[in-house]
A and B are shown apart, each in its own frame.
Chain A
Amino acid sequence: MFDLHMVLAITGVALVGGLIGLDRTAAGQFMISQPIVAAPLAGWLLGDATAGLIIGAMLELIWVLDMPIGSFVPANATVSAVTATAVAALTSPGGAPRSVLGFCILLSVGTVPFTMMADTYVRTWNSRLLDAAHAADGADVARSLSRAHLTGLLAFFLKSVVLYVLLLPAGLVAAALFLRSPDRVRVSMELFLMLLPLLGAALVVRRLSISALDPFLLTGFITAGLLAMVLHLHAVMITLLTVVAGWLGVRYREHRS
């Protein structure tokens, strides 16, 4: 199972994932680390961009509103998404079937506690770096500060690399066991994948709206439904028009109040 090709693939994913992970908190925050970008990127590197796109889209919906407010450390959706994609791509080289995609998304849940613990630990360690720079004598304080800053970046990178090196082999073993599981288990994972968009949508609706039956949700639903049925418009155009419908709804509400 873990031949040279697999070891190289795991090492490659760990290094690329470590770099992508820097975007999460340590440098830039251009959202390259978001599941919807990181997972397709990892999938493309491993030869299955579609698996990355599907896994990334689902994990994006599920974790998008798990926000790093104040000192709260949210789940590391980057590690979860890249791990799930890499496991799917490496398990099914010809393109991951639906059941494997569903299983890998479920598998990503198992990574969450480890990533949260690792993130909390590195952040605590990072704050100690500042204390060390503070304690530096005289003119050395600037040099200590620069060194602490770069050490912090390196710590975040290494944290991600270590997580991938530990989680990926575990995930691959779990996926291999899953492939030997009874048909019904695999069918259940297909259904799980099909229902995930509904759970993801519900998670976002719960956080964005306080009303049980949100008027904007219904506006978009009716607009898209009518446009698809009556005018048979392309999906991109329908999405654009639901954006316009939401905007018009806000303008109408403002006008009335």
Chain B
Amino acid sequence: MQSLGFSYALLPVLKKLYPDRDEFEARLRLHMEYFNTQPYLASFILGAVVRLEEDRAAGRASLSAIDAAGLKAALMAPLGALGDSFFWGSLKPLAAVIAVALVMTGVWWAPVLFLALYNLWHVGLRLSLLFWGYGSSGDAMALMERYSFTKMARLFKAISLSVLGGILAGISGWRPEFASNLPLPGPVMAGAALACTLIIVAVLRRGGSPIKFMLGLALFCLALAYAGVV
């Protein structure tokens, strides 16, 4: 899946380390084997592989071809799971939920904040992981000790949920496009929004894709409109 990009990123290093064409080609072909992990944490593996290749070219270690391949094979699955859970499962939702909370109240610069919040972590980690992978030669245990991804993921998920609660509580202050004409006091509206959301969550837990639920909601609204309720 990502072998093309990984081996392309290694090209300049391999060219520099292996002036002999046959050896260069052999090493390049080795890195063109199957590789798939979380794209940001691939930086860690990339750094580690560069270090291994440097050691090998300098004769500092008697590494066989299996070592670099073995390292990649050993790291890609666990780092993939870790990165998916942290970046896709907690950091992105956190940045998104905060930005949506601001959009709902009419803040136009919410997308800029989203990019800033996400990329401060993303770019910072991506760069430092490259050097950390190089420095530690791919010591995944040291990586786990340095960055508590699981703990941070738990924190980000909790904050995302808290902000979501805030969005629901602020329903009476939502921008006009989402405003309701119902003559109800703010706290009642907020309570109804929370109750409706929890009911939808309960229905969602029974299964189904977002597409089905969007279509279902549209049909529900159409039925209400034709019934004269709205």
Binding site for B on A (CB under 8 A): 29-32, 34, 36-37, 40-41, 49, 53-54, 56-57, 60-71, 75, 98, 101, 105-106, 109, 112, 123, 126-127, 129-130, 133-134, 138-139, 141-142, 145-146, 148-149, 152, 184-185, 187-209, 212-214, 216-225, 228-229, 235-236, 238-239, 242-243, 245-247, 249-250
Chain B: residues with Cβ within 8 Å of the partner, total of 94
Instruction: Enumerate chain A residues within 8 angstroms of B210, measured Cβ to Cβ.
Output: 62-63, 66, 75, 203
Complex contact A57–B158 (CB within 8 A): no
Q: List 26 A-B contacts (CB under 8 A).
A: A31-B122, A37-B114, A49-B108, A56-B103, A57-B99, A69-B84, A70-B36, A188-B221, A190-B230, A191-B225, A192-B217, A198-B193, A199-B214, A200-B100, A205-B164, A206-B201, A209-B157, A212-B202, A216-B159, A217-B165, A223-B162, A228-B173, A242-B101, A247-B155, A250-B155, A250-B159
Name the residue of chain A whose CB is nearest to the CB of B98.
A239
Complex contact B173–A235 (CB within 8 A): yes
Complex contact B160–A204 (CB within 8 A): yes
Instruction: Enumerate chain A residues within 8 angstroms of B158, measured Cβ to Cβ.
Output: 216, 246-247, 249-250
Complex contact B197–A243 (CB within 8 A): no
Instruction: Enumerate chain A residues within 8 angstroms of B193, measured Cβ to Cβ.
Output: 198
Complex contact A70–B80 (CB within 8 A): yes
Interface residue B147 (Cβ < 8 Å from any Cβ of A) = no
Complex contact B161–A197 (CB within 8 A): no
Within 6-59 of B, Cβ neighbours of A (below 8 Å) are at: 7-8, 11, 15, 21, 24-25, 28-29, 32, 36, 39-40
Complex contact A57–B100 (CB within 8 A): yes
Instruction: Enumerate chain A residues within 8 angstroms of B7, measured Cβ to Cβ.
Output: 145
Q: What DSSP secondary structure best describes chain B's contact surface? A: helix
By CB atoms of chain A within 10 A, which of B5, B36, B106, B169 has the most?
B169
Bound-state CA distance A170–B214 (Å) is 20
Complex contact A188–B173 (CB within 8 A): no
**Further pairs besides A30-B123, A221-B166: 19, Cβ < 8 Å:** A36-B103, A61-B97, A62-B210, A65-B93, A67-B84, A129-B4, A196-B214, A197-B167, A203-B210, A206-B204, A207-B89, A213-B198, A220-B169, A221-B165, A222-B165, A223-B165, A235-B107, A235-B170, A250-B154
Instruction: Enumerate chain A residues within 8 angstroms of B200, measured Cβ to Cβ.
Output: 198-199, 202
Name the residue of chain B whose CB is nearest to the CB of A203.
B210
Complex contact B161–A209 (CB within 8 A): yes
From B104, B190, B205, A206 is in contact (CB under 8 Å) with: B205
Within 68-102 of B, Cβ neighbours of A (below 8 Å) are at: 80, 84, 88-89, 92-93, 95-102
Name the residue of chain A whose CB is nearest to the CB of B21.
A139
Given contacts A188-B225, A223-B162, A228-B170, contact A145 B110 (CB under 8 A): no
